[in-house]
Amino acid sequence: MKVLITQSALDGRTDELASEINATYGEEPVVLLCVLKGAYIFAADLARRLTCPVVVDFIQVSSYGDSTVSSGVVQLKRDHDVNIEGRHTLVVEDIVDSGLTLEHLLAMLRTRRPRSLRTVAMLSKARARGFEAPLDWVGFEIENQFVVGYGLDHAENYRNLPYIGLMEE
Ligand code: IMP
């Protein structure tokens, strides 16, 4: 496995994102919606750096199965429990690739009328693919390549790696 983003780079960038997010919300309470499974480590690291009152909930969508290429079909596998109506809501994503997952998710969440709806992703391939994702905060822009670790999997493996890695062919 080739290391693309080290553990200390992930830590440092999460510190920076958290201070921007803290500045945005101040003392206002926020619902953190962690998109399972890939964002579980990032969401846990980010949540512990937030200084506003935080409620954590989870949502799960699947679009890939065991493939490394998006099927184009976004399926809601688990909905959140907490009511987000009238509340600041921050969607925590692992990685944006085609942007399809996030687009579907945001369209669905908007119908639930949160007070505000913002998004943070640790990684994005959007620019490399030639578009801007609807993200308020991005950890790292990466090339259009398949990465694993820090929550991200390939066929459910490698999620526990403490860094972002590139699988060797
Ligand atoms: P999108 O809908 O094409 O933006 O895909 C987003 C989802 O696909 C992410 O939430 C990940 O679960 C998965 N994904 C996209 N690229 C990668 C990757 O390089 N490694 C692991 N999972 C990925």
* Distance from the alpha carbon of residue 132 to the mean position of ligand 1, in angstroms: 16
Kindly list the domain boundaries of the chain, sorted by start residue: 2-63+73-166
Residue nearest to atom 12 of ligand 1 (CA): 38
For the stretch 39-72, pLDDT in tens is 999 999 999 999 999 999 999 998 655 666 666 6
With cut-offs at 50, 70 and 90, classify the pLDDT of residue 74. confident
Question: Hey, what are 153's tokens?
Answer: 């999997």
With cut-offs at 50, 70 and 90, classify the pLDDT of residue 146. very high
Is residue 153 annotated as a catalytic residue, yes or no? no
For the stretch 83-128, pLDDT in tens is 999 999 999 999 999 999 999 999 999 999 999 999 999 999 998 9
The pLDDT value recorded for residue 62 is 81
Q: Exposure of 120 by Cβ count < 10 A (0-12 exposed, 13-18 middle, 19+ buried)?
A: buried
Residues touching ligand 1 (Cβ under 6 Å) are 38, 63-64, 70, 93-101, 146-148, 152
Domain at 2-63+73-166, CATH from 2.60.40.1120, 3.40.50.2020, 1.10.10.10, 3.30.70.20: 3.40.50.2020
Q: Mean pLDDT over all residues of the chain?
A: 94
Predicted TM-score (pTM) of this structure? 0.95
Contact (CB, 8 A) for 162 and 144: no
Residue nearest to atom 11 of ligand 1 (CA): 95
